[in-house]
Every structure is written in structure tokens, then in C-alpha cells.
Amino acid sequence: MALYEYSAFDALGKKQHGVVEALSQKAAGRKLRDEGLFPTKLTTTGNPVGTTAQRIFFRRVSAAQMGVATRQLATMLAAGMPLAEALMMVAEQQTQGSLGAVLTRVRDDVLQGSALHSALQAHPKIFPPLYTSMVQVGETSGTLDKVLLQLAEFTDEQARFNSQFKAALTYPILMFLVGSGVLLFLMTFVVPKITRMLEDLEQALPLPTLLLMSFSQFLATYWWLLLLLVVAIFWAGQRFSLTAGGRLWLDRKKYSVPLLGPLALQNATARFARTTATLLSSGVPLLTALEIVQNLLGNNYLQQALEVVREKVTEGAGLSTPLYEAGVFPAMLSQMTAVGERSGELEGMLFKIAEMYEHQVQTRLNGLMALLEPLMILLMGTVVGFIVLAILLPIFQASQGIG
């Protein structure tokens, strides 16, 4: 089957745009007419549904775009608009990525009798288990518009936090890459020409100059070996990470890295708390919520720990004690969770935990970046200063000899 973009008029004469899935162009036209639409333009997108190219294309949906679309759908449903019509209107508002095409297919499935959560489950790259589970709860309880609004707020919060996190890392990473490129250019192209001039002075060269010449010559001669070594290390690391034991080891060591390890653990804790709280506040049972969160964390070490936590909750334990016994998350998580369980406000306490750790991550990240930037400038200045010193020393010596 293939996707066809169409322009059409409905029975009221209103112009409609969207995407329809069909075996052929004629079949697409018949499908649109069966739905009460009269196509004026029908063109293929060129990508068969289900191919690798299409699956990759369908992944290009940002969290911010998903949050806006979900909020629009919640608003329309709260106003009393039928689900299929609301889905079509939201799909028409999507001008970037593949969300519009996906929502059109979801709307077609709904018109054919599928529940919304079932139609969403057909697109796991776009709608994760968290999304479809909450939609299912909303459909069952008759509060779909409210649940979608919660999903929109959750998605917006996650998008905002991830955006701040990435923005804080952008400048140091860019500075490191540019600085490394400049130094590599100096050492492989500029320094060799200058050192050849220094050799013509026919005098004993100082130690810094000899070290600089040796290192520059090594880079110019064996750069291919260094590149091959980097590729080999990267390949070996990739192969190691594909094994179950290797992936578990890497995921565990990730939280032991100085400075960044505790920051990553706090980030994972905030994500666990916010996702669990969102699911619980939507009516998802605790065991189901833990299973969904376990699959969303993307870390085998944490997933293994949460599997033990879920087993103990299944046996009748509360949430706080298994979290403490797991020994993975910060102790504050289990302590505040215990308070929430005793007061009967577990969801609210988990939201507070998420806000607390998100604030801590942002504060520590800002502090780390504020410290990292001058350190990188100092490091680059030291390296450049050494290069300048190594070049100028023999020149000064030669000028003194002439004098």
C-alpha cells in the first residue's frame, strides 16, 4: 500500500487536505468519495507504507510538535467535537514531519471501528506505551479530553526540560570541536612549516621546541593510524554494547562517571517520578505504570532494578520500600515516596520529587557549564601558549647569538 496526498471538498464545500492510504490512486479516490470527500488533487508521496524509508520518515516527530497536537485534540474533544473530525482537523494543522500522515491513518482506523488507543498502538515510533496506555484509560473512564490535556502538559514539560539540557551542552561541545579542529590544523599544517625554518638555524633547539616538533611529525606521519585506532575503539565499543552483559555494564558505569554520573542519575530519577505520577494521576494502576516506565527509561541497569521493584510490589509491598532496597535511585526518592504513601498523595509527591530533581539537574548543569567554559578556555590557552613558546624560544636564542 502507498500514501497519497489529496486536496478535496467535503459535502459542505469546505476544502480539505490530508493523506490517505490505498493500494492505488483509483482506490484512494474511491476511499475519499466513500468518506464524503470529492478529490480535486491526488498525488503519491512516493513512499510505500511499511518500508524502511517510511518507518524512518515516521520517526521525525518532535516532542514539542506532539505536545501541541495533543493539546489541540484535547481542546476540540472538550468542546464536543467528534473524535474522527477532531483527528482530521489536527492532522491538517501539521505542516512539518509525518505527524499529519500518521494522524490521518489513525482517523481512518477510528472510522473503521477501532478504538483510539488501538489505532495509536499501530504507530509505536510515534506514540510510546505511556501515550497509548493513558489514552486507553481516558477512553475507558470517559475522560479522554482530560487525559489528553495531561499528556500535553507532560509532553511539553519533557520537551522544555530536554531543550534546556541540550542548550546547556551545546556551547561547550561546539567550543571543544572547534578548538580541537584549530589545534589539529596548527599541528599538521602550520607547525611543520615553521619547524623546518627553525631547523635551518643550525643551533641546539630547546626542549619545548623538540617536543612540539616530535608531536607534530608524529601527527603528520601517523594520522591515519590514529584515525584507524579511533574507528577500531568505536567499533569494539559498539560490538560490546550489543551484548547483554556489555550493555548492562555500560549502563551501570554511566552513573559512576565523576560529575556527569550523578547528574545523569538525577535526570533518570526525575523522569521516573514524573512519568509514574502522570500515569497514576490518569488512573493507570501502579503495576502497569511501573511496567511502562521500566520500558521507557532506556537503561538496562535501571530496568533490571525496576523489574525487582515491580515483583515486590506484585507480592504486596508498597513502592517506597522496594525502591530503597534496590539501592539504585537516590535515597530521597524512597523517603519522599513513603511520605506520599502514608498521606495517600503518592501522585502529588512524585510530581514534587520530579520538580525537585529537575531543578537540581538544571542548577548543577548550569554550575558545571559555568565551570567548564573557563576550564576549556584555560586548557586551549595553555596549549596555544606552549606552541607559541616552543616557536619563539629558538628565535630569541638566535637573536641573542647574533647580538
CATH number, domain at 212?
A: 1.20.81.30
* Sequence-distant (≥ 6) Cβ neighbours of residue 108 within 8 angstroms: 20, 21
* Sequence-distant (≥ 6) Cβ neighbours of residue 118 within 8 angstroms: 109
Residues 204 and 85 placed together within one structural domain of the fold:
no
Is 133 a member of any domain? no
Give dist(CA 330, CA 211) in Å, integer. Answer: 47
Is 136 a member of any domain? no
Residue 55 pLDDT more than 50? no
Q: Domain boundary at 17, 32, 57, which?
A: 57
Residues 231 and 377 placed together within one structural domain of the fold:
yes
Residues 237 and 278 placed together within one structural domain of the fold:
yes
pLDDT in tens, 236-270: 988 888 888 888 888 888 888 887 888 889 988 98
pLDDT in tens, 276-304: 888 888 788 888 888 888 877 778 898 89
Q: What is the pTM of this model?
A: 0.65
Residues 250 and 340 placed together within one structural domain of the fold:
yes
Is 161 a member of any domain? yes
Place of cell 533490571: 304
Q: Where do runs of H (alpha helix) occur along 205-327? A: 207-242, 244-253, 260-281, 286-296, 300-314, 320-326
Q: Which of 50-54, 73-77, 297-301 is predicted least confidently?
A: 50-54
pLDDT in tens, 98-128: 788 888 888 888 888 888 988 898 888 888 8
Q: What's the domain range around 50?
A: 1-57
Q: Which of 9-13, 25-29, 46-50, 202-206 is predicted least confidently?
A: 46-50
